[in-house]
Each structure stands twice: as structure tokens, then as C-alpha cells.
Structure 1
Amino acid sequence: MRQHFTLLIFGIILAFSSCRTDFDTITSSGDLKFSKDTVYLDTVFKNIGSSTYQLKVYNQSKKDISIPIVQFKKGLNSKYRMTVDGMLGNNGKIFQNVTLLAKDSLYIFIETTADITDANPDDFLYTDQIQFDSGANLQEVALVTLIQDAVFLYPNQNPDGTKEKIKIDGKDVDGFYLSENDPINGNELLFTNEKPYVIYGYAGVPENKTITFEAGARIHFHANSGLYVGKNASLEINGKTSTTNKLENEVIFEGDRLESLYSDIPGQWKSVIFEKGSANHSINHLTLKNAIVGLDFRSSLNPISIKNTQVYNCVEYGILAQNEQITGENIVINRAGIASLSCIYGGNYSFAHCTFNNNWSGSSPFAVNLSNSLAGATPETNPLTQATFNNCIIYGSATNELNLDKNAKATFVYQFNNCLLKFSNSTTNPNYQFKTDTEHYTNIILNENPKFYNASENKFNIDKTSAAFAKGNQAYIITTDILGITRTSPPDLGAYQNQDFPK
């Protein structure tokens, strides 16, 4: 009994001693500290919401404080919105009597959705400030966002409220056909460099029409969107060599999130689909990134030219070609979940001075995959009449970066001349006898490091220490590299002429 009484007294003493007497707060005196004095929200397109950005607010005093008001300087008219420690306040704009405990901090999360008309017409910046308190205790944190104007292309709304559809692979998908005489946009089949374009859904090229992209055009695809080049339709990408790191003359296909966080995230949009029977495609100086399938060719049965083109960070394939005729020069592909380049179900292919790399994590992806069959197709096999790789680099992070899927029921013709290949596993498979099979392999550099400048950042330049330096055959030379630099003799392998890397 005595023990119980002692425990009871001890419990009461402990309860009283642990009770705080300072639940009351004092008004903030203007001594708040902030994780940054300006929050820069990355560039956004007009009326497309930004990512969420964080600001931390610190109370370094020994007293619990109350901040009488936290608000945007523009008040309820601000195009910014925020939450303060999870609270929504008045429409995410105004918060009153915000408590911040001693030696503690609170989180503010900020977003914006603004129109180009909201921005300063001189620099297209939209700005505001978060105000903490007022009068003599006023403290402010600046907010800055660059608003970019654009041409928006999207499916129309049907009278019943559904979206316009086009048919791809036998299915109705959100999409629309581009018009030469659109009442708002004019000729939608001509993409200029005057403004960026943002595409929602699949933009379709009508039969017997040509879509053209001028040098410097910027095309941004929303999630689940893409480009569909239909039967008897054509695509022309007329990019040119750029002279600065801004790639001012390159045609660029990417997602519509401009924040740096999204610059290298795969799968932000779907694909450029070239339907069976589409024709006369010409691609020069295209940079495509962050799709599911980059360029998806489906037996156009007409010659295709791809030059000076880069494809990066695709969930499945960088370039997928099914029974196609492709001539490729100065192509660079990196990071694809299945294969950077996959030429399946036969066809006719010739590649010179290309860099096919695959740094996708995992051991199964390939840099190059060749096949003369397709499961479920009728017939199941098609002849691969030619697959020639001259002065190329085929490399990556996996053990083997080349896959030859040969079906004996159809022709399978392939040849690698003066190429650097990564294939580390020894094998008795007759398809991979790189040193003794002179019919298919000539002057192969096997498993040596090309020493790319920075493959993780898609920089595949080489210098004179590379195993690819001066190992090319003059007979296969493309006179200028992907940057327009004149190649020397003997030429380097891959898409880049060697340069000294910056120190």
C-alpha cells in the first residue's frame, strides 16, 4: 500500500513538473529567418500549374511566437497559392495568427498558375512577395516565375461533353487532326520557331499531308500525348547546326514540364508514331527526350533519312523500327528501358558514325537490338535484307549491349565495320564471333572504354584518350559530325569528332 501511495505522489509531482507554463505566445518581433530570400519557381507555360516549391521559416528565439498575418502582397488577387504547415488559410492566400514554437520551423509550399498577361511585358516575369507581419515588423520573401507564351493544340470538345478522338492501333484515343486552315492557329502543319507549341492528346497528320518543323521549333507534349503521322502522310524536321549551347537551331521534342526537376525524367509523354504506309520522312537535327517510345516507325515501306539526331531517356525504346528502310548518320541514343535502337521484323538499315549507348539501370536493356521476326504477326518473319553499322559505337552499362534475334526461316543480313562494341560474355553462339567471323565483323574494338565526356548527362563527346579515337574507316566517313565539325582522317568512331574537354 505504501508503495502505491509513493508511486501516486511521484506521478503527481512528475505531471506538475512536466506541465508548461508558456503555452501563451508572444507577437512576432520581425526576427524570423528564412531558408531563402527569393523563391524562384521555374519557367511555366501560361495557365499550366507549376511544381510545388518549399520555403522554411525559422523561429530562433526561446519564445513561442504568433505571426499576426502571412499573406501575399497582392492578396487574394495573387496568382500564387500556398499552404502554411498544412493549413489552407483564406484560399491559400492569407493566413492569420500563425503559431511558431520556440527554436522551431514551419514549412510553406508555394505553387502558381498564371497567364502571360499577368507577367511583366518586358521580361515575362510574374512576381509577388510573401509578407510576414506588417508595419515595423514586416518581413518579405520574393517570388519570381517566368511565364512563357505558347501555341496550344488540343482536342475539341464534342457537343456531348466528350473529347475529340482519333484512332490509333484500332483504339479511339484523345486526339485531333492538324489543319492547314485553322481559324485560330492558321497552318497547324507548319511549326515555326516564333513560339513554343504545347500538344494535348495525339496531334494527327492527315492522309497525304506533310508536317514540317522549322529550325528552332520547340514542341512540348503533355502527359499521354504524342504525334501521329498517318497513312500516306509525311514528316519533315528541318533543324540546323547550332552555334551555342542554347541549341537555337535544333528542333526539340520534350514534355511540357519546364522545371529542372523534370529535365531527364523518362515517360513524360508517349511517342511519335509513323503509321504503316506513311512516307518520305526526313529528320535532321532533332533532339527528343523523356518519351515512352521516341520514334516509332511501323513499316512505312519508303526510305527514311535520320541525321544529326539525339534521343534520350525513353521508357521503352529510343527508336523502334518495324520492317523499315532507314539511313542514319550522326545519331546518338541513350537510356531506354528495352533498347536504344531496336530494328525488328526485318527491313533495310544503314547507320554510319552513330553512338548507340544505353545507361538504363538493370542488366537487360540493349544499345542495339536486331530481329527478323515478330510474335503474333502474319507472317511471323520478314527478311532483314541489310543491317550495316559503319564507324559506330555500341556501348552502355550492361554486360552485353548488342542483341541479334535471328530466326532461321527468314534472311538475316548484318555487318559491323570499324565499330566499338561492348559484349563481355564469351559465347559459342555463331552470331557473336567478333574476331573470327569476317563476313559479319571487320575491325571490331571489343570492350574498350570510349571514355565519353559524361554519359550520365548525355554528353557523348570523346577526346584523344578514347578507344574510339581515329579508329574509323575513311571509306565510311560522314564529313562533318553531329555538331557540324569537320572530321579528320582517319575519322573517330561515333557521332562526335574528338575535342579537348573543358578543364
Structure 2
Amino acid sequence: NGELNNKVIIEGDRLEPQFSEIPGQWGAIWLRAGSKNNSIKNTIIKNASAGIIVDSISNNSAPTLIIKNSQIYNSANFGILGRETNIYGENLVINNSGQSSLACTGGGTYNFVHSTFANFWNNSFRQNPSVLINNFFTVSNTQTVEKRDLLAANFTNCIIDGNNNIELIIDQVEGTVFNYSFKNNLLRFKEIEDPIHFIDNIFNGNPHFKSPSTNELIIGQNSDGIKKGNEQGTLLVPNDILGIIRPLPSDIGAYQHIIFN
């Protein structure tokens, strides 16, 4: 864990400038099955194959991983890949991933508040959305599909955006619990009338990122997410990723907006 003004940086061992933004230079932070009570704060993770892989939960209900005030960039595959696990994140920023910036797979419990999940990957063709949620996995040697309960996938005051038309996929196999909720988010997604799962979201608005191609995802004065935050979510996370106190109503995402010059 780092500090607000002294972040831990986890990257490859090639520190020459030409390697500073190259994906896939090292493997992943891998929290294997049974690992629990992991915490990452004030950390920048960059240039991995997968930033963090979080495997299946132990029997306790506490999150396998709590991640706060952290950034994950330039992952060749996934920013965070969760597999039937329990993750809580706030003031989390992920961008530039070869597959998904966040993949909540095989069911589990996922809660994110005031986070920014973007994907402006341009190194190759990308099929996956910025955020993928499902409740199954395929056993590789038999090709059978195993279903698991999605106990929660809750997103409050988050931005989900990228350079594809659809940046959120919710992929359900029938026959299990499948709970999810989106409140006061800015979503690159088809407009949907579903008041049970989607509450007070903005569809296909302009987040007005400063420079997503260089992982600068602070929002500017023309963002459609300004003053659109859910109050309950803001009270949970009263400061943004830079330590700025959030007013009420707050801005959606990990950052309060600034005026771009």
C-alpha cells in the first residue's frame, strides 16, 4: 500500500522511456483460490499481462480483495480478472486493456463505487467490452459449462466507457442467482428500460476525459457526469482519487472534474 502523494508503482523491470507504456512486460498479481483479506491502496499497476487475477473465494463473506485509490493501465489481457470471487473497489481507475478492463466472471460478489472503467486499447482488435459480467466458466478439458451464483455486481457512481459502441456486457446463463445493480453511472451501453437493475444512469454520454490515450482519465468541464452522483455512494467515498473533497451532488467516476485549459 502506498500513500496519496507517494504511490507504489508496480511495473516491469525495463525502465527505459520507450518501455514505459508497453503492455505485457510481466505476468500478473495473482491472488489464488483461498487467499483472503488482501488490500491494495494508492498503487499504480502497469504494463502487465493481467493487472490482478483474483480467484475463487474462501468460505468467509469478506472481500478477497479491497482496492482503493489505485490505477491499472496497459494490461495485455485484463486489468482485473475476477473468477467467482469477492472484490470491493473505490476510486479505482482502469484503462487500456487488450480484453476487458474489468471482468467479473464465474459469479461471485463485486461492489464498485466512484470508479472509472475505460478501455481505449488501440494495439490490436478488441472484442471484449470494458466491463464484462457473467455467471459461468467453461472447463477447458471437457468444454462443459459450469454455472455459479452471481450474488452481487453493484456499480454506483462509476464511468464505464471506451472506444467501442458497447462497453458493458452482462452475460447470464439461466439457473443461478444473478443479482446486479447500476446506480448513477455513465455507461457506454444500449439504452435500456429496466428500473430494477438500472437506476438513474446516463447512457452514451460524454465523460470528457482529458486524454484517454495517455491514461489521463480525469474529467473536464463538459462531462455529462458532473453533479450526477448518488448521494449514498458519495458519502461512502467522500474524497476523490486525488484527495479532493466531493461536494453533494458529486461527479460520477473516480475524479471530480477540473477545467481544462
TM-score where L is the length of structure 1: 0.49
Residue among 391, 397, 401 paired with 2:157: 391
State the shift of 1:365 in Å: 2.8
Amino acid at match of 2:254: A
The residue aligned with 1:496 is: 255
The residue aligned with 1:17 is: none
Residue among 328, 337, 352 paired with 2:89: 328
Report Cα offsets for 1:241-276 as digits up to 9, x if no partner.
Answer: 11xxxxxx1011001111111111100111111110
Distance across 2 between alignment mates of 1:353 and 1:308: 10
SS of 1:261's equivalent in the other structure is: helix
The residue aligned with 1:480 is: 239
The residue aligned with 2:204 is: 447
Query: Between Structure 1 and Structure 2, how many residues are aligned?
Result: 250
The residue aligned with 2:216 is: 459
- 8 Å CA contact 1:395, 1:421 repeated in 2: yes
Amino acid at match of 1:241: L
Report Cα offsets for 1:133-172 as digits up to 9, x if no partner.
Answer: xxxxxxxxxxxxxxxxxxxxxxxxxxxxxxxxxxxxxxxx
Structure with the bigger RCO (C-alpha within 8 Å, sep 6+) is: 2
Distance across 2 between alignment mates of 1:497 and 1:240: 19
Question: Which sections of structure 2, spanning at least 5 residues, go unmatched?
Answer: none
- 8 Å CA contact 1:358, 1:365 repeated in 2: no
Please give the residue correspondences for 1:190-269 in structure 2 after superposition, counting only pairs within 5 Å. 238-242=1-5, 249-269=6-26
- 8 Å CA contact 2:98, 2:126 repeated in 1: no
Residue among 184, 191, 195 paired with 1:438: 195
- 8 Å CA contact 1:353, 1:391 repeated in 2: yes
Distance across 1 between alignment mates of 2:73 and 2:126: 18
The residue aligned with 2:28 is: 271
TM-score where L is the length of structure 2: 0.92
State the shift of 1:305 in Å: 0.9
State the shift of 1:363 in Å: 4.8
Distance across 1 between alignment mates of 2:34 and 2:73: 26
State the shift of 1:464 in Å: 2.4
- 8 Å CA contact 2:99, 2:126 repeated in 1: no
Amino acid at match of 2:20: S
SS of 2:160's equivalent in the other structure is: strand
Residue among 370, 374, 377 paired with 2:137: 374
The residue aligned with 1:407 is: 173
Structure 1 segments of 4+ aligned residues over 3 angstroms from their partners:
none
State the shift of 1:423 in Å: 2.0
The residue aligned with 2:225 is: 468
Q: Which has the larger radius of gyration?
A: 1
Residue among 287, 311, 325 paired with 2:72: 311
The two structures, once aligned, show a CA RMSD in angstroms of 1.4
Please give the residue correspondences for 1:65-84 in structure 2 after superposition, counting only pairs within 5 Å. none
Segment drifting more, 278-287 vs 356-365: 356-365
Distance across 2 between alignment mates of 1:286 and 1:300: 23
The residue aligned with 1:349 is: 110
State the shift of 1:394 in Å: 0.2
Distance across 2 between alignment mates of 1:447 and 1:322: 28
Amino acid at match of 2:48: A
State the shift of 1:359 in Å: 0.7
